[in-house]
Structures are given as structure tokens and as C-alpha cells.
Structure 1
Amino acid sequence: MTTVIERASKSLDLSVLPMFSGFRQWRGTCEKHGEQVISVPPSVKSWVCPVCVSQKAAKTLPVEWLEERAKALMTVSHLPEKYVGQKFVATSDEQRRARQAAKLFYDQVTQKKVWASLNLVGETGTGKTLLACEVMQRLIVGAGMSCRYATSMGILSEIKESYGTEGKTENGEIQRFADFDLLIIDEIDQIRGSDTDRLLLQEVVNRRYNAKKPVLTISNLSFESFGKAVGARIASRLSENGTVVLFDWADQRRIAA
């Protein structure tokens, strides 16, 4: 369990700021913490080490500020409305193992900066997105981590919207998805475009891999099948320090109906 101080320190992660217009990235070097990148508005004229700032402010930040921070992070997470406050209910051994895998992933990514992937695969209606969104909400509220939910086609669409749009670039949009502490890629196997589309998604995953920022993927195919759909390079990245959870039970939506 993260303490308030630990959450406060993480809550000042300035990497979440590039999603707001007008912010720019500024790279500098701290004698204590080495090279760091911050995102700042045009009005800021001097570079500061974000780790030093976090450590200093974490000792005095009130819980109320952390709650406001969580609200802001939730707003930019694109969490589907239907999953807000919802939890994955495990009623079988297989489902309990899925919950345990999600917990281990949560513990893994909150204890240290590490590349890791949690890959939820199986038929529709088995609770994959529900569990993924529960993990995301816990990371936002419990650890102050910036998270983003998107489908693979949604990511590609947002990147392509930069073409011909003043103030936006393909590189900038790719980096925006690379900057979140956690990226959830739903329907990762549904890329229907050209090889260029696969290369764009590959670049998002690769940048996150190099920055040691985890991903959580969701697919209606088996891991082997969606590996073919997204390409060998993405599949290779996801295989490294990755966990595959098979949701092989009945469609819960049909049961509920």
C-alpha cells in the first residue's frame, strides 16, 4: 500500500502535463538525480528538477490536493463512463487468478519504474476491459499515476488527426501516448490499416518500452493470434516481462441477460 507521502511524490509527475495545449518539454540535468525532462507552460523561464520538487512538496501536500489531482487525472484518462467505480467480481478459481495477476501487475508498476505488460485475452463479455479499467482507477487514485485508455484504432486516429493540424505533429502525438505512466490499449488486434498503422502503434509501444513505462493490452484473440495481427515487434515487446491472462469463461453479459 502506498503512503500519502509516496502518492504525493508520484502525483507531481510532470510527464502528465504535455496533454494540455501550450506546454513544452524541457530537458535538464540535476546533480543528484541526473537528466530529467519536465513539461512546462511558456511562462516558466527556469528549469527545475521534478524529482527534487516532488520530494520537497511531498512532505507538505494535503490529502485534499491529492484528491484533486486524482480527479484531474481521471478526467484526462478517457476512462469509459460505464466502468467508473466498477469492479471485476471473481466467482471462480479462474477469475480469482485473473484478479491476482492484476494485483501483481499493480504492485509491480507502483513499486518501481519498470517495463511490464499485462495482456488480457479471451472472448467478448468476459470482463477484460472491466478488470483493466479497475486497475487503471486504482493506479490513479491509489498511486497518483497518469493513465490513458484507448483502443488501438483510437490511438491511430488521434495520431493521424495531427496531419495538417496547426500546432500538432505526428511525433508529438506519438509522444503524448508514450508519456502516460500506464497506457491501456483495448482491441489491440483490430488494426485494419496498412503497415504504416502497425509502425505507428509499434512506435508508441517502443517508446514506452525504452522509457520503462508499462502497458496493459486487451484482445479478443489468443496471444499467439493477436501477435500476428499487431506484428512481431510489438508481440516481442509485450512478451518481455509480460503476463498473459486467459479469460476462458462464458460471456458474462449473456448470463446477466
Structure 2
Amino acid sequence: MNLLSFVNSIPEKPEQGNCQKHGAFDFRYQAMGDRFVVLTACSLCAAESSANQLKIDEQNAAKAAKARLERSRIEAGVSPRYAQVTFSDYRVESQDHAVALQEAMDFTRHIRSGGNGNLIFSGRVGTGKTMLASAMINELMPHKRCRLASLSSLVRELKDSWGKGASMSETMLLKHLSELDLLIIDEVGQQRGTETEILFVFDIIDGRYKNMLPTVLISNLDKTGIREAIGDRAFDRLRQDGGKVVAFNWGSMRSAI
């Protein structure tokens, strides 16, 4: 069925149609070659339909952008559990909780404005260290290149770089880790602490130190244990430029099973 009708010229008095919603309306005429297409649809309905479609397109675009951002956060090392977590999700039940939260927010604000510095989260299992670190990355992305990774996973990447046909050499890996806007290394002290691992950690932290880029370490160990796990030289570089140790000295905040 032909939905279009044509006329050779625009009539002095436009034909009219009737819209159940808007009542009588004039037909519109649009030039097409040497003739005119008669637009018999209600212009008000067409405008409403266009506005509704625009709203749907905007909503779909927003959903797609949110999904892309969530994927990029997960690719940066934030777990799906924390891919949308914010600072407001952190439960503050004591003054110590409030101090830890404030330190994380202040550090993030400082990094977002282009500042440098380092931070160490030290404390017991389940006290919210990784959650706060994830909130920091979620706050900074996509404007900053961030990564959260366990030290053991970074060591595995190092060993993979030694293999034949590896996609990234050790030099390339160190360069990548040394140039991120923010690197958060989790589970420090869980590795075996071999000489190779300690040297690798130093190379990462030293590279970031030279580039004046911020690093965050997360560990269940105390300050002395962290120093032993990563070595004196790496620890001292972290403490420079106003580096802070934030103690998470309270019980687990995870719900009991």
C-alpha cells in the first residue's frame, strides 16, 4: 500500500485531517523534485513522537555509558561487587571509621586535582579497605587511568612476561604500571616474599616515585610487617611525599553467615 500521496502544486487552502487527540489539522506539503508530498500525519503527534524517541535515545545512551564505565572499572581491577560502590556506601559506626573514610576521600580529591602522594591501608580482614579503594577508583574513572590489583596477580603477570611469545615484556609491564595515574596494590604480604618479588615491588614503586604518581598499598599486616614484605627501600619511597598509613583496627564489617 502506498502511504505517500503527491500533488503538483500546493493548494491555496490545505486539505485537513482529524486527529483523535488534537482535533482538526492542516495537511503539510513537502517539495520532492517537481512535485510535493502530502504529509497527512498530525504535526503535534509527530512532534510528541519525536520528543519521546529522543528521550528514549537519551536514556539508552545513558544506560550504555553507565555499562561502559562499569566494564572499564572491572577491567581496572574493581570487582563486580564493588563496581558501583561509592564513599556513601561505607558504613561509619565509629570515629575510626570516619577517619579512614575521610582520609580516602581527601586523598581521592587530591589525586583528582593532579596531586601526588601515597597511602597505605593497614588492618584486619573485612574492615573495608578494598571497598574504600574501589570507591576511590570509581570516583576517579574515567578521567584517570587507574588499576587495582593484588600483589600476587602482578607477580603472575611478571612471570608471564618471561614466557616465550608473551604479549608484554617485563620492561613493558613495568612501564605500564609506572605510568598509571593511580595504582592500588592489594593483599600485600600474602605473597611468599622472595627476592625476585621484593625487587619487582621496588621497581614498580620506584618507577612511580620517579614519575611522581600516587600509589596505594593495602595489607592485613601492620607497618612493620609491610616494611618486611616489600623491603625498606620501597617502603621509604611510599612514606615520602607525605605518604600516610591509615590503620583499620576494628573487627570485620562483613555480615555474619
Distance (Å, rounded) in 1 between the aligned partners of 2:65 and 2:213? 22
Contact in 1 for aligned 2:77/2:149 (Cα 8 Å): yes
Contact in 1 for aligned 2:77/2:147 (Cα 8 Å): yes
Kindly state the Cα deviation for residue 223 of structure 1 after the two structures are TM-superposed. 1.3
Which segments of 5 or more consecutive residues in structure 1 lack a partner in the other structure?
1-62
Higher relative contact order (CA 8 A, sep 6+): 1
**Corresponding position of 1:154:** 153
- Whether 1:192 and 2:199 are equivalent positions in the alignment is no
**Corresponding position of 2:175:** 175
Kindly state the Cα deviation for residue 191 of structure 1 after the two structures are TM-superposed. 2.9
Contact in 2 for aligned 1:191/1:230 (Cα 8 Å): no
Amino acid at match of 1:196: T
Distance (Å, rounded) in 2 between the aligned partners of 1:72 and 1:130? 17
- Structure 1 pair 127/229, CA: closer, same or farther in 2 (3 Å)? same
Kindly state the Cα deviation for residue 130 of structure 1 after the two structures are TM-superposed. 0.8
Kindly state the Cα deviation for residue 72 of structure 1 after the two structures are TM-superposed. 6.1
| 1:68-119 C-alpha deviation (Å, 9 max, x unpaired) | 87456424302111212233221211101111101110121122242x1111
Distance (Å, rounded) in 2 between the aligned partners of 1:101 and 1:193? 29
TM-score, structure 1 length as denominator?
0.68
Distance (Å, rounded) in 2 between the aligned partners of 1:111 and 1:104? 11
Report which of the two structures shows the higher radius of gyration computed on alpha carbons.
2
| Corresponding residue SS for 1:252 | coil
Identical-pair percentage: 29
- Whether 1:110 and 2:112 are equivalent positions in the alignment is yes
Amino acid at match of 1:174: L
Amino acid at match of 1:249: W
Distance (Å, rounded) in 2 between the aligned partners of 1:111 and 1:82? 27
Q: Give 1:88's match in structure 2, choosing from 61, 67, 90.
A: 90
Contact in 1 for aligned 2:74/2:83 (Cα 8 Å): no
Contact in 1 for aligned 2:90/2:132 (Cα 8 Å): yes
Amino acid at match of 1:131: L
- Structure 1 pair 113/67, CA: closer, same or farther in 2 (3 Å)? farther
| Corresponding residue SS for 2:212 | coil
Distance (Å, rounded) in 1 between the aligned partners of 2:112 and 2:139? 11
Distance (Å, rounded) in 2 between the aligned partners of 1:192 and 1:75? 27
Distance (Å, rounded) in 1 between the aligned partners of 2:188 and 2:237? 14
Kindly state the Cα deviation for residue 181 of structure 1 after the two structures are TM-superposed. 0.8
| Corresponding residue SS for 2:188 | coil
Contact in 1 for aligned 2:198/2:229 (Cα 8 Å): no
**Corresponding position of 2:239:** 239
Kindly state the Cα deviation for residue 193 of structure 1 after the two structures are TM-superposed. 4.3
**Corresponding position of 2:30:** none
Query: Once structures 1 and 2 are overlaid, which stretch shifts more, 124-133 or 165-174?
Result: 165-174
Contact in 2 for aligned 1:73/1:147 (Cα 8 Å): no
Aligned residues: 192
- Structure 1 pair 202/173, CA: closer, same or farther in 2 (3 Å)? same
| Corresponding residue SS for 2:112 | helix
- Structure 1 pair 93/148, CA: closer, same or farther in 2 (3 Å)? same
Contact in 2 for aligned 1:128/1:218 (Cα 8 Å): yes
| Corresponding residue SS for 2:156 | helix
**Corresponding position of 2:251:** 250
TM-score, structure 2 length as denominator?
0.68
